[in-house]
Amino acid sequence: MRQGVEKDKFEERYSRQILFRGIGAEGQRRLAAGRVAIVGCGATGSAVASLLARAGVGTLRIIDRDYVEASNLQRQSLFEEKDAAESLPKAIAAARKISAFNAEIVVEARVEDVVPRNIEALLEGIDVILDGTDNFETRYLVNDYALKVSRPWIYAAAVGSYGVTLNVVPGKTACLACIFPDSPRGMVETCETSGILNTAVNLIASVAATEAMKLLLGGAALGKLRETLWSFDVWANKHVEIAAGKPRVGCRACGERDFVHLTGEGRPHITMCGRNSVQIHERARPIDFAEMQRRLETLGVVRHNEFVLKFWHEPYEMTLFPDGRAIIKGTTDAGVARSLYARYVGS
Ligand SMILES: [Zn+2]
């Protein structure tokens, strides 16, 4: 009896989607059983997560290393002013927001940077991986991992008025490295983007989320998957498509299976992070925020919650995470950042 009531509720909630011929009642159940990871929850990640959550994808794992800032609110649709005021991690803020409009799905928030050391653990048990990152380093890493374990992933990016996306189905289509053997120049964005229209974001998120649903549905829906690198400029109204249905012969990643990004060769320990910040990729230094607050209080303004500690010491602003990772604003010099970190956190 109870089962029957639950079933009615489910079918009522998703009735407009079940009516759509490409999905139906069986398709809706497949979406409910689906497990999607969203790597990076900025603008594109927010939009994709929101769409898939409302569509009833049963498990979403949202992975993001960053915290919400006021400048995100123009385009990052899962966040509110109070999230920025509290400097909440994006993954946590996104999970809270989603639970307010769909409490029936599972959202797993992971406040982490996806790196070679943790990618297997972070993406374990996932059916489809969606790209919400802003950098090619992580995308190549995801590409290598997806090819290695034969899991589909969807590249999606938006810059300015332009969005671009590609489905990568290992063993079938081209991969990211087939099309871009190296990072495309002029498209590499850092944590702070240089300018973007929220409409371009939502467009590309809609296209990518639909393709993700086809992958989860399987069967006839797979025949509807796009096999091109697709881009659209909402300002210029220009549309470009490049064939990507077949792997490129001799591709380093999908052809030779040489997963250089997965082995982490040449990965920097300190990276530039936007126009005026440096990130220290420390991960093995558990931080006691209460203790750190006491230590720093006499030196400047400090505040923390359970996820993040912020410390202002003119002209610098340091954001510290529980695993020891830090973002230092006010410098682009790795040496200065290293010494500030050593001074305030430890060396
Ligand atoms: Zn390839």
What string of DSSP letters covers 114-182?
Answer: --TTTHHHHTTT-SEEEE--S-HHHHHHHHHHHHHHT--EEEEEEEBTEEEEEEE-TTTS--HHHH-SS
What gap in Å lies between CA 58 and CA 68, rounded to an integer? 25
> Model's pTM, two decimal places?
0.79
Query: Ligand 1 centre and the CA of 54: distance in Å?
Result: 33
Is the distance from CB of 45 to CB of 114 less than 8 angstroms?
no
Structure confidence by residue, pLDDT tens digits, 178-235: 999 986 643 344 333 347 899 999 999 999 999 999 999 999 999 999 999 999 999 9
Residue 95 has pLDDT above 80, yes or no: yes
Q: How far is CA 3 from CA 7, 8, 32, 284, in A?
A: 6, 9, 16, 46
CA of 70 to the centre of ligand 1 (A): 38
d(CA 157, CA 175): 15
What are the pLDDT digits (tens) for 110-147?
Answer: 998 888 989 999 999 999 999 999 778 889 999 999 99
CA of 183 to the centre of ligand 1 (A): 14
Neighbouring C-alpha atoms within 13 Å toward the C-beta of 322: 8
Q: What is the mean pLDDT of the chain?
A: 90
Q: Cα of 264 to ligand 1 centre, how many Å?
A: 18
d(CA 63, CA 41): 7
Question: Which token pair is 23?
Answer: 């999905």
CA of 174 to the centre of ligand 1 (A): 5
Ligand 1 centre distance from Cα of residue 214 (Å):
22
Do 225 and 167 touch, CB atoms closer than 8 A?
Answer: yes
53 close to 45: Cβ distance less than 8 angstroms: no
Cα(256) to centroid(ligand 1), Å: 9
Q: What's the pLDDT score for residue 243?
A: 97
